[in-house]
Amino acid sequence: MTLILGIETSCDETAAAVVADGRRMLSNVVASQVDLHRKYGGVFPEVAARQHIITILPVIEEALRTADVGWDALDAVAVTRGPGLVGSLLVGVNAAKGIAWTRGLPLIGVNHLEGHVYSNWLEAEGNRPDKTFPVLVLIVSGGHTELVVMRDHGCYERLGGTVDDAAGEAFDKVARLLGLGYPGGPAIQQAAADGDPTAFAFPRAWLPDTYDFSFSGLKTAVLRAVQQLERDETAGGRKLVPGSPLPPNVVADLAASFQQAVVDVLVGKTLRAAADVGATEICLCGGVAANRALREALRRASPLPVSIPPLSLCTDNAAMIAAAGYFRGYRLPDGFIGDTLDLDVVAHLPLVSAEGGRS
């Protein structure tokens, strides 16, 4: 059995986990900073980095304690090295280096996106840990929207991605526009629950003949609709006082119509890509994969098996980093691939195939 300690601090979650053989979670501890950043309406990078410093060691200790594992039982340390906020990444990477050096453990730098991909390999409800390649992966997070085909472990062929806003970014921006607060994704989902997804005919950017996505036109369409409603004398059957918030039923309809537009495009393009590459299975991952409408629509529409992690593994966590570290470190044809102690953080890091991966 190979035990990997995973560490994740790329944004505003301080996380540590112990995972056996890349699949079985012995612990998965996440300290959220969401309350700290709420008053800024988004993640404040300097505040995030400072909070990681305070939280990282207790979180790691809790991960070991919950797993009932001592330092000596660990085989390697895997840590997110990018993409993300540099100040935040530095805290996790330096903690991992300190542990690797003092305990004489291999260090594995992990791409955060690869972590999201491997959240689908963890043993958890909704996941299909045993897979046959090729697998089609849709990564939808706050910073990324990527369609990738995997023909083997560590082998990523990018089919397309967003040409402007990421899906999660669109949720966050539209939530702000509708006065729904932060974080935007869960707030839109909640507001949309009481809304009519057909109330507003928002555009779907299909970008034909590509696997790319675009969400900025949709965001602008929501803005225009809000401005129009504010100009109108009445909205939702009630008289609007200029400058006052929109009535909740109108906000619900806007949220539901926006969410439906995002879901339609994500599901439609994913299914087409899966058919085109002859995928055996579709994997959904990243923070937006927590969206109920998206999960249900993809499961309903897909002729292929669909793997979607439970909510706690969709948003940022360290179990997925440990899993990715295991498959990158131990499962490639050339054997173990580790990093040296000069491993650095990288703010913008594309998802690339591992050395030794057969692409």
3 state SS for 172-185: HHHHHHCCCCCCHH
Taking the complex as a whole, how short is the minimal distance between the CB of residue 225 and ligand KG4, in angstroms? 19
| 184 contact, one of ligand KG4, Zn ion, none, CB 5-8 Å limit per kind | ligand KG4
Which partner from the list Zn ion, ligand KG4, none does 290 bind, CB cut-off 5 to 8 Å by kind? ligand KG4
Residue ranges binding ligand KG4 (CB under 6 A): 11, 141-143, 168, 171-172, 183-186, 189, 286-288, 290-291, 315-316
Q: Which is nearer to Zn ion, 8 or 253 (CB)?
A: 8
- Tokens representing 53? 């410093």
CB 63 within 8 A of CB 56: no
In the complex, least distance from residue 281 CB atom to ligand KG4, rounded to whole angstroms: 21
Instruction: Give the one entry of Zn ion, ligand KG4, none that residue 315 binds, where binding means its C-beta sits below a cut-off of 5 to 8 angstroms depending on kind.
Output: ligand KG4
Cα–Cα nearest to 153, from 198, 175, 120, 127: 120
Instruction: Give the SS3 label for residue 26.
Output: strand
Q: Phi/psi zone of residue 110: left (φ > 0), alpha (ψ -120 to 50 degrees), beta?
A: beta
Distance in Å, CB of 273 to ligand KG4, minimum: 20
AA letter at 293: A
Closer by beta carbon to Zn ion, 111 or else 257: 111
Name the residues that contact Zn ion, by CB under 5 A: 141, 316
**Residue 179 C-beta: closest distance to ligand KG4, Å:** 15
- 32-65 burial: b if 16+ Cβ within 10 Å, else e: ebeeebeeeeebbbeebbbbbbebbeebbeebbe
Cis peptide before 129 (omega within 30 of 0): no
185 interacts with, out of Zn ion, ligand KG4, none, CB within 5 to 8 A per kind: ligand KG4
197 binds, among ligand KG4, Zn ion, none (CB under 5 to 8 A by kind): none
In the complex, the smallest distance separating the C-beta of residue 102 from ligand KG4, rounded to whole angstroms, is: 29
